[in-house]
């Protein structure tokens, strides 16, 4: 393989990983897809542009994996949440617009689980990467009217529960700091002021880490859950970092990476808390620390 061809692939690697990660919600699987695309690139012969060829290969590899992933997630122990990825260092492209950052958020990746694999492919390629309906039709070997129909259906499935208000990054970080301070001090009145009445807390331990196996609903139940963390305060280090395009808390327990907690807000009230503690899902994040 020529050096130019290797460089062409490497120039597309982050974008390809971004497509695969948004399609699958799993960083480890996305890495495998990009590696499979590389193997096909080595022996591929194409007449269209390399970028278009690679996007098509990655998209179709993801469609194949999504079919089997659905069956696996039905057997998953407790709630299933996506794998978190640090984004402060430009690990995923593109993130230039609000829509592109939203397409990467843990909340959006959860919503994308409602879509069929073709709907998810169309939504990701259109919203996050700006492909035209015609380009997507070529990638999926579909007609343009069918792609438009898939996109409309995907929008309908996602729009109902799309975040009503996403605070600017600076305000999000400030609210996150306030939440962290109130939690570690066990300040019940402060937590009650910050939490929406119908707040929901989700935790993904996958049967591999201690975690509640059902969503906790309501301010009182979530406050009791948060107060349990106080007993571990002297063993924990919670660091605000940019994860999946938004500020989140990266948790270390006794010096070891133990979880990621992300918050969703409506105004200045926390509406959703998502914690990923399954060590398998923290492996990519751990690699990013080294």
Bridge partners of 238, per DSSP, are 251
Q: What are the structural domains of the chain?
A: 3-159 (1.20.140.160), 169-289 (3.10.450.50)
Residue 90's Cβ-side half-sphere holds a number of Cα atoms within 13 Å equal to 3
pLDDT digits (tens, 9 = 90+) for 108-126: 999 999 999 999 999 999 9
More confident residue, 67 or 281: 281
More confident residue, 20 or 46: 20
* Contacts (Cβ under 8 Å, ≥6 apart) of 205: 77, 78, 211, 213, 277, 278
Distance (Å) of CA 231 to CA 50, 101, 193, 254, 287: 54, 35, 22, 13, 29
More confident residue, 193 or 4: 193
Q: Count CB-CB contacts under 10 A for residue 243.
A: 24
What pLDDT is stored for residue 164 in this prediction? 56
* Contacts (Cβ under 8 Å, ≥6 apart) of 241: 86, 88, 247, 248, 249, 250
What pLDDT is stored for residue 208 in this prediction? 93
What pLDDT is stored for residue 244 in this prediction? 93
Q: How many residues does the chain have?
A: 290
Share of the chain above pLDDT 90, in %: 74
- ∠ at Cα 287 (14, 172), nearest 5°? 75
Q: Count CB-CB contacts under 10 A for residue 199.
A: 24
User: How high is the mean pLDDT of the chain?
Assistant: 91
Between CA 137 and CA 122 the distance in angstroms is 9
Determine which of 93-97, 115-119, 272-276 has the lowest per-residue pLDDT on average: 93-97
pLDDT at 2 over 90: no
User: Per the structure block, which two tokens stand in for 232?
Assistant: 């571990």
Between CA 198 and CA 182 the distance in angstroms is 19
pLDDT at 196 over 90: yes
User: Per the structure block, which two tokens stand in for 245?
Assistant: 């395009």
Between CA 175 and CA 183 the distance in angstroms is 12
pLDDT digits (tens, 9 = 90+) for 24-81: 999 999 999 999 999 998 887 665 688 889 999 999 999 999 988 877 887 899 999 9
What pLDDT is stored for residue 251 in this prediction? 95
pLDDT digits (tens, 9 = 90+) for 165-180: 567 888 999 999 999 9
Q: For residue 96, what pLDDT band results from cuts at 50, 70 and 90?
A: low
Bridge partners of 253, per DSSP, are 236, 256
């Amino acid at each position: 393989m020529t050096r130019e061809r290797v460089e062409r692939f490497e120039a597309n690697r982050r974008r390809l990983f971004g497509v695969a990660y948004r399609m699958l919600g799993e960083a480890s699987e996305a890495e495998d897809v990009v590696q499979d695309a590389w193997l096909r690139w080595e022996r591929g012969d194409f007449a269209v542009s390399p970028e278009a060829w690679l996007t098509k290969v990655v998209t179709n590899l993801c469609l194949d994996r999504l079919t089997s992933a659905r069956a696996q997630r039905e057997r998953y122990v407790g709630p299933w949440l996506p794998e978190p990825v640090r984004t402060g260092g430009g690990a995923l492209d593109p993130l230039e617009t609000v829509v592109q950052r939203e397409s990467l958020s843990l909340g959006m990746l959860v919503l994308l689980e409602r879509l069929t694999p073709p709907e998810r492919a169309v939504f990701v390629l259109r919203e996050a990467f700006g492909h035209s309906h015609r380009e997507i039709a070529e990638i999926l070997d579909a007609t343009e009217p069918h792609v438009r129909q898939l996109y409309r259906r995907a929008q309908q499935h996602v729009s109902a529960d799309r975040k009503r208000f996403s605070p600017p990054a600076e305000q999000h970080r400030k609210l996150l700091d306030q939440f962290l301070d109130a939690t570690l001090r066990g300040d019940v009145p402060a937590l009650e002021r910050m939490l929406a009445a119908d707040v929901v807390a989700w935790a993904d331990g996958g049967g591999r880490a201690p975690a509640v196996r059902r969503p906790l609903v309501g301010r009182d139940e979530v406050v009791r859950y948060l107060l349990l963390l106080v007993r571990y305060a002297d063993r924990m280090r919670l660091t605000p970092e940019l994860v999946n395009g938004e500020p989140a808390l990266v948790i270390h327990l006794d010096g070891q990476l133990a979880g990621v907690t992300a918050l969703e807000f409506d105004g200045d009230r926390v509406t959703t808390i998502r914690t990923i503690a399954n060590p398998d899902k923290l492996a990519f994040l751990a690699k990013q620390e080294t």
